[in-house]
């Protein structure tokens, strides 16, 4: 990497989570001087706490630009991960497992059927499974499971390993990295550049600045208008079952899921609560997603508990990410507010924001996510 003590840059990326690192990755072969700045540990707030699910149809309530963006990003994942692995030598454990979305009651079946009605034409090779087929094909699931939608081409990835791969690959490029650097203020200059002032009083000048700090966006002083981002704490845990036969990701109402990983870990989550910048795990929170498992996959409740953790998701009022240039200062670019879908949207965000930075032209597909909607 270049000497990160240099104070003048072409592009400064504020935040070294999966989004910031993906943008830097897509800029790695350019001739631009790029600095990646991180306030603490790369991926510490959201990326390292993520289950790594790549399931567009399970994360949207209807067709629209968000689903389109998610599916575009999912299609990019195999080549994205392959490039990162070849560059870094680190595996991201991308698993094309498929996903099941299940129902265990009549009310849940009504919701699942309504979901199927709009989704069946939106994905490839989707199928609706009845209870007898589920018991035959997936005997690890409870007999209480009455129906399921099978998404055979959706998958999951080991998010912390993917981030380590990105950082390792970037370490072999000209992209510079500066950790332990908290940005306090972003200020436009008369010459058209931007200055980032750190909490230590240092000033980093750049032709363009990209803000990817996740939940901490509104903790910085930024020229108005500023998109409203709030932290949403998500609790999660893992159990250890090396011989667990079910390899599918399973979603169950209301917002529960479990993800069997290649190493014999099964990740189970997740809650959503507004408690400011606290990252906490509580018995009540854990019970939200553990209690329904009695009717979905009770074996998981008897497995040895491995660990619990939580992370902060950056959430916008409308649940959509913020992608694009500041309404007034075009050389200040936002790439944040990905909420539950930062891992899934990392490849497409990285590519489109990198293109915007280099061409100064916004991709039309990003217009629904423009910061201008909060102006």
Would the pTM of this model clear 0.85, i.e. be above it? yes
Match 């699910």 to its residue by tokens. 53
Question: How far is residue 208's CA from residue 205's CA, in Å, rounded to a whole number?
Answer: 9
Domains of the chain: 8-48+161-228+318-374 (3.50.50.60), 99-152+230-315 (3.30.9.10)
The mean pLDDT value for 50-56 works out to 95
Reply yes or no on whether the pLDDT at 274 is more than 90: no
* pLDDT tens digits along 297-314: 999 999 999 999 999 999
Spatial separation of the C-alpha atoms in residues 323 and 372, rounded to whole Å: 10
Dist. CA 292–CA 258, nearest whole Å: 12
Write out the E strands in the chain.
Answer: 8-14, 34-37, 53-54, 99-103, 127-130, 147-151, 155-156, 176-178, 183-188, 194-198, 203-211, 230-240, 249-252, 256-260, 265-269, 305-315, 322-325, 332-336
CA dist., res. 61 & res. 121, Å (int): 14
Instruction: Provide the token pair at 319.
Output: 């649940």
Q: How many CA atoms lie within 13 A of 38 on its CB side?
A: 19
For residue 41, name the pLDDT band (cuts at 50, 70, 90). confident
What is the percent of the chain where pLDDT is above 70? 98
Contacts of 192 (CB under 8 A, 6+ apart): 207, 331
């Amino acid at each position: 990497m270049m000497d990160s003590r240099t104070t003048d840059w072409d592009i400064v990326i504020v935040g070294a989570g999966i989004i910031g690192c993906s943008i830097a990755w897509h800029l790695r072969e350019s001739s631009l001087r790029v600095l990646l700045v991180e306030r603490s540990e790369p991926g510490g707030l959201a990326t390292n706490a993520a289950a790594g699910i790549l399931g567009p149809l399970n994360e949207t309530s209807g067709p629209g630009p968000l689903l389109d963006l998610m599916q575009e990003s999912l299609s990019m994942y195999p080549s994205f991960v392959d490039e990162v692995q070849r560059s870094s030598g680190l595996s991201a454990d991308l698993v094309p497992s498929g996903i099941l979305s299940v129902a265990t009651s009549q009310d849940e079946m009504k919701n699942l059927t309504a979901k199927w009605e709009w989704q069946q034409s939106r994905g490839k090779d989707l199928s609706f499974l009845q209870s007898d087929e589920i018991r035959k094909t997936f005997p690890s699931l409870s007999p209480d499971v009455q129906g399921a939608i099978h998404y055979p081409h959706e998958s999951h990835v080991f998010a912390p390993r993917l981030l380590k791969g990105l950082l390792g690959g970037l370490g072999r490029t000209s992209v510079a990295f500066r950790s332990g650097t908290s940005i306090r203020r972003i200020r436009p200059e008369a010459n058209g550049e931007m200055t980032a002032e750190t909490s230590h009083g240092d000033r980093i000048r750049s032709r363009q600045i990209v803000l990817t700090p996740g939940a901490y966006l509104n903790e910085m002083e930024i020229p108005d208008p500023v998109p409203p981002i709030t932290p949403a704490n998500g609790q999660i845990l893992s159990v250890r079952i090396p011989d667990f036969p079910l390899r599918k990701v399973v979603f169950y109402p209301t917002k529960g899921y479990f993800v069997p990983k290649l190493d014999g870990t099964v990740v189970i989550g997740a809650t959503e609560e507004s408690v400011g910048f606290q990252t906490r795990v509580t018995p009540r929170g854990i019970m939200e997603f553990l209690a329904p498992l009695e009717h979905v996959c009770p074996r998981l409740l008897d497995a040895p508990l491995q660990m619990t953790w939580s992370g902060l998701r950056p959430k916008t009022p409308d649940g959509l990410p913020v992608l694009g240039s500041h309404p007034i200062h075009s050389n200040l670019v936002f790439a944040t507010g990905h909420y539950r879908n930062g891992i899934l949207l990392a490849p497409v965000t990285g590519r489109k924001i990198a293109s915007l930075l280099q061409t100064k032209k916004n991709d039309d597909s990003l217009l629904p996510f423009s910061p201008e909607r909060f102006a």
